[in-house]
Homo-oligomer: A and B are copies of this chain.
Amino acid sequence: MSPPPAPRKTVGRPPRFSRQEVVDTARRLVDAEGVDRLTMRRLAAEIGSTPMALYHHVRNKEELLVLLLDDYAGRTLRRRELPADPRERVLAAAEAIHRALADCPWIVEVLTADDLMATSALWYVEQIVDGLIACGLTPEQAVHGYRSLWYYTAGEIVVRATAARRRADSDRATYREQVFAGLDPAELPRLARLGARWADLTAEDTYPAGLRALLTGLLARGAG
Contacts and interface: CB of A to CB of B under 8 A. Distances in A.
Given A159-B151, A194-B139, A209 B221 contact: yes
A148 interface: yes
Contacts of A115: 163, 172, 176
B190 A122 contact: no
Contact of A217 (B144, B194, B207, B213): B213
A139 to B, nearest CB: 6
Contact of A190 (B126, B159, B202): B126
Contacts of A217: 212-218, 220
A198 B166 CA distance: 36
Interface stretch (A22-30, A38-46, A47-55, A106-114): A106-114
A105 B112 CA distance: 15
A72 interface: no
A212 B221 contact: yes
Given A212-B217, A214-B217, 6 more contacts: A59-B170, A122-B183, A122-B191, A152-B152, A213-B221, A217-B220
